[in-house]
Amino acid sequence: MAGSTPPPREGSLEAPTRHPLDWRSESFYDRAALEQEMERVFDICHGCRRCVNLCHAFPTLFDLVDESDTMEVDGVDKADYPKVVDHCYLCDLCYLTKCPYVPPHEWNVDFPHLMLRAKAVYFKEGRPRWRDKVLASTDAVGSLAGIPIVVNVANAARENRLGRKLLEKTLGVHPDAILPPYHRDTLHRRAGGHRPDPGRAEPAGPTRGKVVLFATCYGNYNEPEIGEDLIAVFEHNGIPVRLTERERCCGMPKLELGDLEAVDAARAANIPELLRWVEDGWDIVAPVPSCVLMFKQELPLMFPDDPDVQKVKAAIYDPFEYLALRHKHGKLNTDFKQPLGKVAYHVACHQRVQNIGPKTREVLSLVPDTELDVIERCSGHDGTYAVKKEFHATSMKICRPVVRRVEAQDPDHYTSDCPMAGHQIENGLGRARPPEHPLTLLRRAYGL
């Protein structure tokens, strides 16, 4: 009929787009407005239910609906909304891989950023526990653990039964969760003085051929070997690598906590340092997908009008994204010395949502006599979710399909770009053997 309003579309075929995060406006923190939007989006999710197998946020929501008097969202007590929020660790997979109603669809559903808004409101209200704030302070905890006596005590507590009981009582850390070791001999201590000749850099496509490494808290304090492997692999490919001279946590743990002011403080510390390198002709890489995603997506959405944030966004790469680009333009060394055999490869969520394609698979597949089984399921770890006493069992349940795939493959190696996801899989395998990072495998294939 002429002049009538067309019915809403069932789904969208357009590529997802994302709105900037209006986190500085007063309305962003309006509790009533937040709950109204949560009710609207929860009602859409209840009618769809495609995301039920992604994480525990959706089963929690659907159980609340199904157990309510009306069996609809209007029957759910809004005091129970935080139960849904607590199980969202902002992996973004629902937004990118499942939801048919993301922008530009008129229903404008962005479930992860709605959960982020809720976390920010709850943080303003003082809801997060002291434990949550401590676990999210990764650079502060890492610096403290780097003190000689402290690092010995911290590492002993990781494996000591009495120490784990103490961590459970004081921080609510589950006794069965794998906790990473801390190193006094950090990556910055090991490689901070490394000074390769930048004059030998060779541009290839969009890459400029010399790289500054943002170590990340995890790569610096917990597994500095990954950064050493990255340096060895990149320089074997003629790519000079330097470490940043100053860096703080990227801000992802604080983002997941809802502490957006702390994210802003991290931006103010990191962006000028990274921008200095970019303007001097260097590209940026980081060994942890979550940290790359922070600079590629979350900070640009929080600070859309900051040109420095946008310049860093354009210059930062996932390590295998960088190597794949070099290969595309004929600048990757493919003289591999050792096959890798069967490799079970878990794709990290925060790498998938960068929209770069399966670059780790592409590069590792270049190694002769190497067979990759690619697993595109969430490990359920997140940065702190899997170590918390109240969420650990759920996180292991989410990881179970990944563990079954690894067990069925019986591979020579299993790996994930996210080192924490790798250890989550290790836990599911009964800690029979540790994971190996893809950069470690590539270094081995080169015979370095």
pLDDT digits (tens, 9 = 90+) for 267-287: 999 999 999 999 999 999 999
The structure tokens listed for 87 are: 């199980």
- For 329, residues 6+ apart whose C-beta sits below 8 A from its C-beta are 204, 205, 207
Q: Per-residue pLDDT for 331 more than 60?
A: yes
Q: Whole-angstrom Cα distance, residue 362 to residue 359?
A: 5
Residue 362 has pLDDT above 90, yes or no: yes
Q: Which comes out higher in pLDDT, residue 129 or 338?
A: 338
Tokens for 64, please give them. 């609340």
Q: What is the pLDDT of residues 191-209, one digit of tens each?
A: 999 999 988 899 999 999 9
Task: Say what the pLDDT of residue 164 is.
Answer: 84
Cα–Cα distance, 288 to 318 (Å, whole number): 8
Kindly give, in sequence order, each residue whose CB lies less than 8 Å from that of residue 232, ignoring residues fewer than 6 positions away. 443, 446, 448
pLDDT of 248 higher than 70: yes
Beta-bridge partners for 213: 243, 285
Residue spans per domain, the chain: 26-124, 130-171, 187-325, 334-446
Burial readout 24-52 (b: 16 or more C-beta within 10 A, e: otherwise): eeeebbeeeebbeebeebbebbbebeebe
**Which pLDDT value is given to residue 3?**
47
Helix axis angle for 111-124 and 31-48, nearest 10°, is: 150
Residue 211 in this model has a pLDDT that exceeds 50: yes
**CA-atom Rg of the chain in angstroms:** 22
14 burial level (CB within 10 Å; 0-12, 13-18, 19+): exposed
Structure tokens, 81: 């909304």
Cis peptide before 104 (omega within 30 of 0): yes
In this predicted structure, what is the pLDDT of residue 145? 60
Query: Rounded to two decimals, what is the model's pTM?
Result: 0.92
Q: Is residue 216 left, alpha or beta, with left meaning phi > 0 and alpha meaning psi from -120 to 50?
A: left
Largest CA distance in the chain: 78
- In this model, does residue 406 exceed pLDDT 50? yes
pLDDT at residue 101, rounded to an integer: 93
Q: Would you state the structure tokens that stand for residue 18, as one six-digit string? A: 């994302």
pLDDT value of position 8: 57
| CATH top class, domain 334-446 | alpha beta
In tens, the pLDDT along 156-198 reads 667 778 888 888 888 888 999 988 888 889 999 999 999 999 8
Whole-number Cα distances in Å, 258 to 34, 42, 254, 401, 430: 14, 20, 6, 29, 33
**By C-alpha distance, which of 77, 44, 74 is closest to 58?**
44
Asked whether the beta carbons of 299 and 284 are under 8 A apart, the reply is no
The whole-angstrom separation of Cα 353 and Cα 292 is 11
Beta-bridge partners for 242: 212
**End-to-end CA separation in angstroms for the chain:** 71
pLDDT at 2: 46
Mean pLDDT of the chain: 91
pLDDT at 87: 93
CA dist 399 and 386 (Å) reads 10
pLDDT of residue 138: 78
